[in-house]
Amino acid sequence: MPGAFEGETVSRRRFMTLTAHGAGGVAAAAFTLPALGFALAPIFKHQAWSWQAVGPVSDFPDHQDFVTRILNVQKDAGESGTTLVYMRKRLSGVDTEHEDQYNQIIAISSRCMHVGCPVRWTSAAERFICPCHGGVYNIRGIVTGGPPVRPLDRFYTRINSTSGLVEVGPRYSVNSELQRFSPRLPGEPLDGIGQFLYPSQFAGPKKP
Protein backbone atom coordinates (compact mmCIF):
# COMPACT_ATOMS: atom_id res chain seq x y z
CA MET A 1 0.00 0.00 0.00
CA PRO A 2 2.26 2.81 -1.20
CA GLY A 3 0.31 5.97 -0.45
CA ALA A 4 -2.37 7.46 1.72
CA PHE A 5 -4.77 7.79 -1.19
CA GLU A 6 -5.90 5.26 -3.68
CA GLY A 7 -3.83 5.18 -6.85
CA GLU A 8 -0.72 6.75 -5.30
CA THR A 9 2.48 5.09 -6.49
CA VAL A 10 4.83 6.59 -3.91
CA SER A 11 4.26 7.38 -0.27
CA ARG A 12 4.81 10.90 1.06
CA ARG A 13 7.59 9.74 3.31
CA ARG A 14 9.42 8.11 0.42
CA PHE A 15 8.82 11.11 -1.82
CA MET A 16 10.25 13.49 0.78
CA THR A 17 13.26 11.22 1.35
CA LEU A 18 14.01 11.05 -2.37
CA THR A 19 13.56 14.81 -2.73
CA ALA A 20 15.90 15.59 0.14
CA HIS A 21 18.54 13.16 -1.08
CA GLY A 22 18.18 14.41 -4.64
CA ALA A 23 18.54 18.04 -3.56
CA GLY A 24 21.61 17.13 -1.51
CA GLY A 25 23.11 15.33 -4.48
CA VAL A 26 22.49 18.30 -6.77
CA ALA A 27 24.02 20.67 -4.24
CA ALA A 28 27.11 18.48 -3.83
CA ALA A 29 27.47 18.09 -7.60
CA ALA A 30 27.15 21.85 -8.01
CA PHE A 31 30.49 22.42 -6.35
CA THR A 32 32.18 19.08 -7.03
CA LEU A 33 31.81 18.98 -10.81
CA PRO A 34 33.13 22.48 -11.58
CA ALA A 35 36.04 21.97 -9.18
CA LEU A 36 36.84 18.60 -10.75
CA GLY A 37 36.66 20.03 -14.26
CA PHE A 38 38.89 22.87 -13.15
CA ALA A 39 41.50 20.42 -11.91
CA LEU A 40 41.23 18.13 -14.95
CA ALA A 41 41.22 20.89 -17.58
CA PRO A 42 44.97 20.71 -18.36
CA ILE A 43 44.44 17.19 -19.72
CA PHE A 44 42.35 18.65 -22.55
CA LYS A 45 43.89 22.04 -23.23
CA HIS A 46 46.22 22.15 -26.25
CA GLN A 47 49.69 23.23 -25.28
CA ALA A 48 50.52 26.64 -26.70
CA TRP A 49 53.65 26.92 -28.85
CA SER A 50 55.30 29.36 -31.19
CA TRP A 51 58.14 29.30 -33.70
CA GLN A 52 61.30 30.20 -31.80
CA ALA A 53 64.20 31.61 -33.78
CA VAL A 54 67.47 29.92 -32.81
CA GLY A 55 70.01 31.44 -35.22
CA PRO A 56 71.03 31.55 -38.89
CA VAL A 57 71.38 28.37 -40.94
CA SER A 58 75.16 28.70 -40.91
CA ASP A 59 75.15 28.08 -37.12
CA PHE A 60 74.27 24.45 -37.55
CA PRO A 61 76.88 21.85 -38.46
CA ASP A 62 76.67 19.93 -41.75
CA HIS A 63 78.76 17.03 -40.42
CA GLN A 64 78.18 14.45 -37.72
CA ASP A 65 77.99 16.81 -34.78
CA PHE A 66 75.46 18.97 -32.98
CA VAL A 67 75.02 22.40 -31.49
CA THR A 68 72.65 22.87 -28.56
CA ARG A 69 69.84 25.34 -28.17
CA ILE A 70 67.54 25.97 -25.21
CA LEU A 71 63.84 26.24 -26.00
CA ASN A 72 61.12 27.71 -23.84
CA VAL A 73 58.31 25.20 -23.81
CA GLN A 74 56.34 26.50 -20.82
CA LYS A 75 55.69 30.10 -19.90
CA ASP A 76 56.34 31.52 -16.42
CA ALA A 77 58.23 28.47 -15.20
CA GLY A 78 61.75 29.87 -15.37
CA GLU A 79 64.45 27.33 -16.05
CA SER A 80 62.14 24.45 -15.29
CA GLY A 81 60.04 25.43 -18.31
CA THR A 82 62.93 25.08 -20.76
CA THR A 83 64.26 22.12 -22.67
CA LEU A 84 67.51 21.42 -24.47
CA VAL A 85 67.64 20.43 -28.17
CA TYR A 86 70.53 19.14 -30.23
CA MET A 87 70.53 20.61 -33.74
CA ARG A 88 72.36 20.00 -37.01
CA LYS A 89 71.67 20.21 -40.71
CA ARG A 90 70.03 17.30 -42.48
CA LEU A 91 72.78 15.03 -43.77
CA SER A 92 72.28 13.20 -47.05
CA GLY A 93 73.14 9.53 -46.65
CA VAL A 94 72.54 9.70 -42.91
CA ASP A 95 69.02 11.05 -42.59
CA THR A 96 67.05 8.72 -44.83
CA GLU A 97 63.60 9.53 -43.47
CA HIS A 98 61.07 11.35 -45.63
CA GLU A 99 62.28 14.88 -46.36
CA ASP A 100 59.99 17.90 -46.17
CA GLN A 101 60.08 21.56 -45.15
CA TYR A 102 60.14 20.67 -41.45
CA ASN A 103 63.32 18.61 -41.30
CA GLN A 104 65.89 20.53 -43.31
CA ILE A 105 67.40 21.22 -39.89
CA ILE A 106 67.22 18.28 -37.50
CA ALA A 107 66.30 19.19 -33.91
CA ILE A 108 66.58 16.25 -31.51
CA SER A 109 65.20 16.52 -27.99
CA SER A 110 67.53 15.77 -25.09
CA ARG A 111 64.71 13.98 -23.26
CA CYS A 112 65.58 10.31 -22.85
CA MET A 113 62.81 7.97 -23.95
CA HIS A 114 63.25 5.69 -20.99
CA VAL A 115 62.00 7.90 -18.15
CA GLY A 116 62.96 11.39 -19.29
CA CYS A 117 66.44 12.14 -18.00
CA PRO A 118 68.54 14.50 -20.15
CA VAL A 119 70.79 12.72 -22.66
CA ARG A 120 74.17 14.14 -23.68
CA TRP A 121 75.81 13.97 -27.11
CA THR A 122 79.21 12.35 -26.70
CA SER A 123 81.06 13.19 -29.89
CA ALA A 124 83.92 10.74 -29.29
CA ALA A 125 81.44 7.87 -29.26
CA GLU A 126 79.09 9.54 -31.76
CA ARG A 127 76.26 8.56 -29.47
CA PHE A 128 73.69 10.22 -27.22
CA ILE A 129 74.21 8.72 -23.77
CA CYS A 130 71.80 8.99 -20.87
CA PRO A 131 73.40 9.29 -17.43
CA CYS A 132 70.53 7.73 -15.50
CA HIS A 133 70.08 4.17 -16.74
CA GLY A 134 72.42 3.89 -19.71
CA GLY A 135 70.23 4.61 -22.70
CA VAL A 136 72.27 4.97 -25.90
CA TYR A 137 71.15 6.54 -29.21
CA ASN A 138 72.95 7.15 -32.51
CA ILE A 139 73.25 10.41 -34.42
CA ARG A 140 69.68 10.08 -35.72
CA GLY A 141 68.39 9.53 -32.21
CA ILE A 142 67.68 5.84 -32.84
CA VAL A 143 68.13 3.54 -29.84
CA THR A 144 71.31 1.50 -30.02
CA GLY A 145 71.36 0.25 -26.47
CA GLY A 146 69.81 0.38 -23.03
CA PRO A 147 66.21 0.60 -21.87
CA PRO A 148 64.65 3.37 -24.05
CA VAL A 149 61.55 2.25 -25.92
CA ARG A 150 61.70 4.52 -28.96
CA PRO A 151 64.02 7.03 -30.70
CA LEU A 152 64.54 10.49 -29.23
CA ASP A 153 61.73 12.98 -29.81
CA ARG A 154 62.23 15.73 -32.38
CA PHE A 155 60.99 19.25 -32.97
CA TYR A 156 59.56 20.67 -36.16
CA THR A 157 62.00 23.16 -37.67
CA ARG A 158 61.69 25.57 -40.56
CA ILE A 159 63.87 28.14 -42.25
CA ASN A 160 62.16 31.49 -42.25
CA SER A 161 62.53 32.78 -45.80
CA THR A 162 62.32 36.45 -44.87
CA SER A 163 64.71 36.52 -41.92
CA GLY A 164 66.85 33.57 -42.96
CA LEU A 165 66.76 32.28 -39.41
CA VAL A 166 66.10 28.73 -38.32
CA GLU A 167 62.95 28.45 -36.23
CA VAL A 168 61.94 25.61 -33.95
CA GLY A 169 58.30 24.65 -33.47
CA PRO A 170 56.47 22.01 -31.47
CA ARG A 171 57.71 18.63 -30.37
CA TYR A 172 56.82 15.37 -32.13
CA SER A 173 57.58 11.75 -31.37
CA VAL A 174 58.87 9.14 -33.76
CA ASN A 175 58.77 5.38 -34.03
CA SER A 176 61.80 3.32 -34.93
CA GLU A 177 61.26 4.17 -38.66
CA LEU A 178 61.29 7.86 -37.68
CA GLN A 179 57.67 8.28 -38.76
CA ARG A 180 56.05 11.25 -37.04
CA PHE A 181 53.53 10.86 -34.25
CA SER A 182 51.97 13.41 -31.97
CA PRO A 183 54.20 13.90 -28.92
CA ARG A 184 54.11 11.10 -26.37
CA LEU A 185 55.70 11.02 -22.95
CA PRO A 186 58.84 8.95 -22.39
CA GLY A 187 58.47 5.25 -21.75
CA GLU A 188 55.69 4.88 -24.31
CA PRO A 189 56.68 2.71 -27.28
CA LEU A 190 55.27 3.60 -30.69
CA ASP A 191 56.10 0.44 -32.65
CA GLY A 192 53.54 -2.32 -33.13
CA ILE A 193 50.64 -2.00 -30.73
CA GLY A 194 52.49 0.69 -28.76
CA GLN A 195 50.77 3.49 -30.64
CA PHE A 196 47.40 2.08 -29.57
CA LEU A 197 48.38 1.33 -25.97
CA TYR A 198 49.60 4.92 -25.62
CA PRO A 199 47.11 7.11 -27.43
CA SER A 200 47.82 10.71 -28.38
CA GLN A 201 47.63 13.24 -25.54
CA PHE A 202 44.70 15.63 -25.83
CA ALA A 203 46.98 18.34 -24.48
CA GLY A 204 49.62 17.90 -27.15
CA PRO A 205 50.45 20.91 -29.32
CA LYS A 206 48.60 21.30 -32.61
CA LYS A 207 50.65 20.43 -35.69
CA PRO A 208 52.19 23.37 -37.58
Binding site for another protein (CB under 8 A): 39-40, 42-43, 45, 47, 73-81, 83, 115-118, 132, 183-188, 197-199, 201-205
The smaller minimum CB distance to another protein, of residues 26 and 39, is found at 39
* Minimum CB–partner distance for residue 176 and another protein (Å): 18
CA–CA distances in Å: residue 12 to residues 18, 23, 125: 10, 16, 82
Cβ(174)–Cβ(194) below 8 Å = no
What b-and-e string marks burial along 115-130, b requiring 16 or more CB atoms within 10 Å of the CB?
eeeebebeeeeebbbb
Phi, psi of 126 (to 5 degrees): 50, 45
* Minimum CB–partner distance for residue 129 and another protein (Å): 16
* Minimum CB–partner distance for residue 193 and another protein (Å): 9
* Minimum CB–partner distance for residue 138 and another protein (Å): 22
The smaller minimum CB distance to another protein, of residues 165 and 185, is found at 185
Residues in the chain: 208
The smaller minimum CB distance to another protein, of residues 151 and 183, is found at 183
